Structure 1
Amino acid sequence: MTEMNPLPTVGWRERVDLPDWGFRRVKAKIDTGARTSAIDVAQIEELPGGRIRFEVVSRVAPTRKTRWVEATPVRTSVVKPSSGEPQQRYVCLTRVRLGEVEREIEISLVCRAGMLCRMLLGRTALGGAVLVDPSQKYVLTSRTRT
């Protein structure tokens, strides 16, 4: 007997949209080993009223592409990245879209220079909405930018 699974399958790397912040097709690593999500930022400035302004790096090659975003952080968090040194990070809410799946997620702001993907989607972002096939990439989205 074959069971039908209604959840879409994604690869370990996909392109995602962040419509609230005006980004399309950001390269993201789907990482079920990471609880939280993170995005590459080059600079963060504190503004009056508890708001922040940050420069999101959406692409590094062939040319670097950034955009400034303003948001009110929902909290700060101490995260222990793979480097082992705990870091305090701002965490903001935004919508993420992967194929037909759209969710509001918490995303931490961190410098991801030297990483393959500008964004990391942790398991709490898409849990229960997709199945991850770690042997595949770009299952729901194409590899090339449009």
Structure 2
Amino acid sequence: MNRTVKRVLGRRELVDFPAFSLTGVEAKVDTGAYTSAIHCSNIHIETDAEQRPRLVVHLLDPGHEGTDGRALAFADFALRDIRSSNGEVQERYVIRAVVQLYGEDFEADFSLSDRSDMKYPVLLGRSLLRQGRFVVDVAKRNLSYKSLARAAGRRARR
């Protein structure tokens, strides 16, 4: 029998978004949410020189370490109905982004919303957790980053 090894995530993880040059962003692992989410502000549509729509946003808060205040533009985006934590359906923009866990890249859909009233700017939902074959141990935190730090320490001692 061929069993897939499942990696363990804690209830909170530090994640990287290499395409956005963001590292060590705090994320809440939420098995109750289907779609992952990332905090952004100033969400609006602009048109480029060829009159094609672009979604323009500022990821995270200006005071968040790692952000440089620049706006990001996405040509590939969708508008979807997303059910919020209180059960209300909201129309949100969704982008596809690469997030790193355990030093590995995972591509996932991220809904864009103002999470400034939330404790964590990123939420990792079930669709991402499934593809990475993760299980969640709610008693743990930052297992992905701790694993990478241990591996780096072992390499440094060689």
Q: Pairwise CA RMSD of aligned residues?
A: 2.3
Q: 1:1-146 residue pairs with structure 2 within 5 A?
A: 6-48=5-47, 49-57=52-60, 65=67, 66-129=69-132, 130-141=134-145
Q: In structure 2, what is the Cα distance between the partners aligned to 1:9 and 1:140?
A: 8
Structure 2 stretches lacking a partner, 5+ long: 147-158
Which runs of 4 or more aligned residues in structure 1 lie more than 3 Å from their structure 2 counterparts after TM superposition? 58-61, 63-67
Q: What is the aligned residue count? A: 138
Please list the CA deviations of residues 39-75 of structure 1 after superposition, one character each: whole Å capped at 9, or x if unmatched: 11121121111211101115757x7955421112431
What TM-score comes out, normalization by structure 1 length?
0.83
Q: Which has the higher helix share?
A: 2
Task: Give identity over the alignment, percent.
Answer: 30
Q: In structure 1, what is the Cα distance between the partners aligned to 2:53 and 2:130?
A: 30
Structure 1 stretches lacking a partner, 5+ long: none
8 Å Cα contact 1:26-1:59 kept in structure 2: no
